[in-house]
Amino acid sequence: MTCIKKIKTALISVYNKENLAPLIKKLNQLNIKIYSTGGTQKFIEDLEIDVTSVESLTTYPPILGGRVKTLHPKIFGGILSRRSNENDNNEIKNYDIPEIDLVIVDLYPFKETIASGAKEEEIIEKIDIGGISLIRAAAKNYTDVFTISSRNQYKLLLDILNKNNGETSIEERKIFARQAFNISSDYDTTIFKYFNNENLNVFKESITSSTTLRYGENPHQKGVFFGEFDKLFDKLNGKEISYNNLLDIDAAVKLINEFKETSFVIMKHNNACGVASRTKLIDAWKEALSGDPVSAFGGILITNSKLDKETATEINKLFFEVIIAPDYENEAFEILRQNKKRIILIQKEFSSQKKQFKSILNGVIAQDTDTKIEEEKDLRLISNSKPTKDNIIDLIFANKIVKHSKSNSIVLAKDKKLLASGVGQTSRVDALKQAINKANSFGNNLEGGVMASDAFFPFGDSVEIAYNAGITSVIQPGGSIRDKESIDFCNNNNMSMVFTGIRHFKH
């Protein structure tokens, strides 16, 4: 099948005009009528070659800042008309549509614009609409139309024109049509990846620099931190920060950022073992430590208030790895730096990352950071009994902690103090029992306390166990098909319960 076609008309609309001039001159030599737009039209005119503007054909000027130039029936009718189809021929004759035998396009450089670090507005404007439509239309009608879809093909077309004196075979047209759809597909894929790769872009930004760590989670594992720690913290003292230190620092910062009142947090293995909010920092420290003084040994300490001498003196009695504060009194710093290995950090003001990443299988998963934390207006009373004002304060306090605890998680709290938590359990009942046992072992009275759960209770047993331990108010997401069991128990035992509608799993 040869089906030779003589090129009589060409539409040229290209971004990159390098090596275009010899091709234009050849088209002119072959007496091929040329239609063109904007910058390409001026380029051809500068070569002193006749060219017809697209707007003279469509009777419309470029509009919307150049977004619409070729998108018109007189253009696409001329490209898509089937020369052997009588109805098509009659219609283009009736509407005075010229047949277009050759389409030459070079698309806006979308990929290059992204790589240049351009702003989003500029990137969006480099999404080619008219050009990609011209390519697809011409390639679809390859039986009659020859398609050039990239500047890399200018020379190839010139060779064909020189060899065949302006004629093309259907085999040639089909080969270039196939290449056109390949270019079109790749172009669309690049655009899709841009819109879908917000996660990837954030990830790339986070790995612009790296620091080799002493080792990973264990001494036999190599570790590297991809990021710029110095942008987030000033390190005033201490040994090299380890892989595990970084994990605990990250967890500590995320939790303390939930609190506005003067607060102290003690982290151990990514979970809070001590949290308290008080007017005075020394009181916040003492209450946080009393929650679990055993687990606090070797932990990560963090506060949202300037560390004073009185508090530093008490803290210095405990062995710990890292302490973080927004600032330190000079005397407090001198006390803490007596241990040369102790890591002392000043936390700078910074915005938390909007995306989180985790390496799994042979790839990486990403998600939006869980920035939601419930306020009093978000609580939906689900029981007959209402929580007291103090209960509500404690419920919100406990809910902040459970959000940052490993699932399955239960937090018990009272008077803005963490009494105990059960974390990382395969059963919510086990998490609750763990919390109750821990609270009792350290003499933390649960009477009148509150319970927070990171997810709904699948049965009513947890609420009953908590009640028997002294808990009087509960906060949970709700949403179990057996919520009624928990609600009924609260109503029958004068307990209050609120639903948040928000689950806070942390795996």
* Range in 146-150, 382-386, 416-420 the model is least confident about: 146-150
**β-pairing verdict for 224-226 and 210-212:** antiparallel
Tally the C-alpha atoms within 13 A of residue 232's C-alpha that lie toward its C-beta.
13
Predicted confidence at residue 248, as pLDDT, reads 95
- Residues 122-137 as b/e (b if ≥16 CB within 10 A, e otherwise) read ebeebbbebbbbbbbb
Which of 25, 140, 286, 355 is the catalytic position? 140
Are 170 and 2 in contact, with CB atoms under 8 Å apart?
yes
In the residue annotation, 269 being an active-site residue is answered as: yes
Q: What is the dihedral of CA 486, 491, 497, 498, to 10 degrees?
A: 100
| Pick from 436, 404, 406, 405: nearest CA to 420 | 436
Predicted confidence at residue 194, as pLDDT, reads 76
* Range in 83-87, 207-211, 259-263 the model is least confident about: 207-211
Class of domain 377-499: alpha beta
Predicted confidence at residue 198, as pLDDT, reads 56
Name the fold adopted by 5-198: Rossmann fold (3.40.50)
Side chain identity at residue 328, one-letter code: Y
| Equal CATH topology for 5-198 and 233-347 | no
* Residue 314 CB neighbours (<10 A): 14
How far does CA 285 lie from the centroid of its chain? 36
| Long-range residue pairs from 44-48, CB within 8 A, at least 24 positions apart, any chain | 44/12, 47/21
Q: Which helix (H) or strand (E) element contains residue 306?
A: none
Question: 150 versus 324: which is more confidently predicted?
Answer: 324
Question: 350 versus 239: which is more confidently predicted?
Answer: 239
CATH architecture designation of domain 233-347: 3-Layer(aba) Sandwich (3.40)
Gap between the Cα atoms of 233 and 250, Å rounded: 12
The pTM of the full predicted model, rounded to 2 decimals, is 0.66
Domain residues of the chain, as ranges?
Answer: 5-198, 233-347, 377-499
**β-pairing verdict for 233-237 and 343-347:** antiparallel
Q: What is the mean pLDDT of residues 435-448?
A: 96
Three-state DSSP class for residue 2: coil
Question: 211 versus 455: which is more confidently predicted?
Answer: 455
Predicted confidence at residue 2, as pLDDT, reads 57
In the residue annotation, 504 being an active-site residue is answered as: no
449-500: pLDDT as tens digits: 999 999 999 999 999 999 999 999 999 999 999 999 999 999 999 999 999 9
298-320: pLDDT as tens digits: 999 999 999 999 999 999 999 99
Predicted confidence at residue 302, as pLDDT, reads 98
**β-pairing verdict for 167-168 and 5-6:** antiparallel
Question: 75 versus 9: which is more confidently predicted?
Answer: 9
% of the chain exceeding 90 in pLDDT = 56
Predicted confidence at residue 495, as pLDDT, reads 97
Residue 199's pLDDT band, with cuts at 50, 70 and 90, is low
Which of 269, 286, 309, 433 is the catalytic position? 269
Strand partners, 105: 13
1 pLDDT higher than 50: no
| Pick from 220, 265, 215: nearest CA to 240 | 215
- Residues 471-484 as b/e (b if ≥16 CB within 10 A, e otherwise) read bbbbbbbbebeebe
Max mean pLDDT range (52-56, 72-76, 150-154, 304-308): 304-308
Q: What is the mean pLDDT of residues 363-375?
A: 88
Predicted confidence at residue 59, as pLDDT, reads 78
* Residue 95 CB neighbours (<10 A): 11
